[in-house]
Structure 1
Amino acid sequence: MIKKLSLKNILFLDIETVPEHASYSELSEVKKKLWELKTQYQRKEDFTPEEFYDRAGIWAEFGKIVCISVGFMAFQGDLRTFRITTFHGEEKKLLLEFKNLLEDHFSGPQHLLCAHNGKEFDFPYIARRMLIHNIELPFKLDLFGKKPWEVPHLDTLELWKFGDFKHYTSLKLLCNVLNVPSPKDDIDGSEVRDVYYNDQNLDRIIVYCEKDVVAIAQVVLRLRQEELLTEEEILSV
């Protein structure tokens, strides 16, 4: 089935998130209590709410998006290129820019959004943060009333599960077993918070995010049993 999809209609994407504030102490007293209640199951008695706050970026209610990287295939005759760009900066601004891209270029019924574990993380996270900023959801993220087969989302984790719902495979592991060059050669997700707040090095996070987008596209190509992208075919725009 995946071979029947037109690659030019797929927008590959990845997001990077961090806690909404640099430290737990910056939360209001109400938000501190809500954080304590939200995380009590994950923390158990191993961590205090303050000690656990470094992980706040994984929840849209307590985190924020610092960049969204996207990539798409372009074809001109026999020439194939993969064009990649990143929206970054103030969160509401980058969300609006991403929304404009969807509405201007990827709003048709043939268009799909593709991410690794996107259905559980990237897509709902973006939608929740848009609503928090009072941004109307673009059609591709508004799932209300849609039947499962009408949801315009492609998830490489789901493709690899083959219906096995208990099975989780990281993008790094999937790249390894499919012989795709690993995107994780600098930082990993657990370090993004420190790189953002302590090192204030957003450029490093963007590079990390864009490498993930390339890896997701490479996985789709491998699942279609097609040639991987070469470095010459990957273009920043």
Structure 2
Amino acid sequence: MIEKINLNNILFLDIETVPETENYHQLDDEMQILYEQKTQYQRKDDITAEEFYDRAGIWAEFGKIVCISVGFFVIKGDVRNFRVTSFFGEETKILKDFNNLLSNHFSGPQHLLCGHNAKEFDIPFLARRMIINGIAIPDKLNLFGKKPWEIPHLDTLELWKFGDYKHFTSLKLMCKVLGIPSPKGDIDGSQVGHVFYVEKDIDRIVTYCEKDTIAVAQIFLRLRREDLLIDDEIIHV
């Protein structure tokens, strides 16, 4: 039961991704063809691959990570803090820094990762981008050969499903129904690519990503019927 999990052993996370190039025509000819094939069932008949390119960030083969935000509890006696930090910049450095965090601080058998839809999106995306960038996959992300129910990580979407595999609930909706302040600020996931490439405002993306990470932790607390974090307990480092 999740009530028995030591909060200090959980690393909460969220990632933000964008298309690997700013526009479709920056892909080479072969990648354009491959993207067209990859998206043929997602696009409506009148939508071209070029027009659909703003969605490329959802696939690790055509996207890249621009921010990883993580948070973890530090509980000592009656004092509870939630420390939040982010990795951003060049993708290879982001992945290496995140890899080092896992290897040095969250590599034990008792440690768990937790995100919203993380088993389906964040964790596979991280592992694939590490392979593409020639980075060794840390043990916590190396899930080869494991069945879905053998993966040791936590997923707030999965916890909310209660076995209903057809059900999807967004992070924003879960926050609303559970009485958690909305994590969303002035942008949403569909706008991250524009903010990154056109506005070149990585700080705005980092803020957005950290809010989602905090929201995941808040949802986990509500699922355990525990008090939500207050602002004074959240420390940005």
Q: 1: CA distance between counterparts of 2:163 and 2:135?
A: 34
1:159 aligns to what?
159
2:3 aligns to what?
3
Gaps of 5+ in 2: none
* CA displacement at 1:44 relative to structure 2: 3.4
2:97 aligns to what?
97
Q: 2: CA distance between counterparts of 1:46 and 1:198?
A: 26
1:15 aligns to what?
15
Which residues in structure 2 correspond to 1:28-47 (within 5 Å)?
Answer: 28-47=28-47
Q: Which letter does structure 2 place at the counterpart of 1:180?
A: I
* CA displacement at 1:150 relative to structure 2: 3.8
1:214 aligns to what?
214
* CA displacement at 1:57 relative to structure 2: 0.3
TM-score after normalising by structure 2 = 0.98
* CA displacement at 1:144 relative to structure 2: 1.5
Which residues in structure 2 correspond to 1:26-105 (within 5 Å)?
Answer: 26-105=26-105
Q: 1: CA distance between counterparts of 2:97 and 2:88?
A: 9
What is the root-mean-square deviation of aligned Cα atoms in Å? Answer: 0.8
Query: Structure 1 segments of 4 or more deviating over 6 A?
Result: none
Q: Which letter does structure 2 place at the counterpart of 1:107?
A: S
TM-score after normalising by structure 1 = 0.98
Which residues in structure 2 correspond to 1:132-171 (within 5 Å)?
Answer: 132-171=132-171
* CA displacement at 1:146 relative to structure 2: 3.0
Q: Which letter does structure 1 place at the counterpart of 2:78?
A: D
Q: 2: CA distance between counterparts of 1:140 and 1:222?
A: 25
1:184 aligns to what?
184
* CA displacement at 1:46 relative to structure 2: 2.7
Q: Percent identity?
A: 67
Q: 2: CA distance between counterparts of 1:75 and 1:191?
A: 36
Q: 1: CA distance between counterparts of 2:150 and 2:107?
A: 14
Gaps of 5+ in 1: none
Q: 2: CA distance between counterparts of 1:128 and 1:13?
A: 17
More deviation, 149-158/102-111 = 149-158
